[in-house]
Amino acid sequence: MFSNTSQLEQFLKLEKTQADLEKKLNNPALHKSSREYAQTVRRHHELTKLLNVWRNLNKVDEELMGAKELLSDSNQDLRELALLDIESLNKEKAKLEKKLKILLIPKDSNDYKNTLLEIRAGTGGDEAALFASDLMRMYIHYAERKGWTTTILSSNETPEHGFKEVIILVEGDNVYSRLKHESGVHRVQRIPDTESFSKVHTSAVTVAVLPEAEDVEIEIKPEELRVDVFRSSGPGGQSVNTTDSAVRITHIPSGIVVICQDEKSQLKNKHQAMLVLRARLLDLKNRQQQKQISDDRREQVGSGDRSQRIRTYNYQQNRVTDHRINLTLYRLLNILDGDLDELIDKLMSFFHAQKLSEGRMEKLK
Return per-residue pLDDT of the chain as tens, 365 residues: 444 566 677 788 888 888 888 888 888 888 777 767 777 887 888 888 889 999 999 899 999 999 998 888 888 888 889 899 999 999 999 999 888 877 777 677 788 889 999 999 998 889 999 999 999 999 999 999 999 999 999 889 998 889 999 999 999 988 999 999 999 999 999 988 766 567 888 999 999 999 888 765 678 888 999 999 888 766 544 445 567 788 999 999 999 999 998 888 888 898 889 989 989 988 888 887 667 645 533 443 334 344 568 999 999 999 999 999 999 999 999 999 999 999 999 999 888 877 766 654 344 33
**Helix 34-69 to helix 76-103 angle, to the nearest 10 degrees?**
160
Identify the helix (H) or strand (E) that includes residue 255.
none
**Helix 266-301 to helix 341-364 angle, to the nearest 10 degrees?**
50
User: Measured between alpha carbons, how far is 167 from 119 in angstroms, rounded to an integer?
Assistant: 6
User: Computed over its alpha carbons, how large is the radius of gyration of the chain?
Assistant: 26
| CB distance 129 to 119 below 8 Å | no
What is the strand order of the sheet 256-260 is part of?
225-230, 246-251, 256-260
| Closest-CA residue to 142 (of 131, 150, 154) | 150
Q: How long a stretch of residues is the chain?
A: 365
Question: Rounded to two decimals, what is the model's pTM?
Answer: 0.67
User: Measured between alpha carbons, how far is 302 from 351 in angstroms, rounded to an integer?
Assistant: 9
User: Measured between alpha carbons, how far is 11 from 182 in angstroms, rounded to an integer?
Assistant: 34
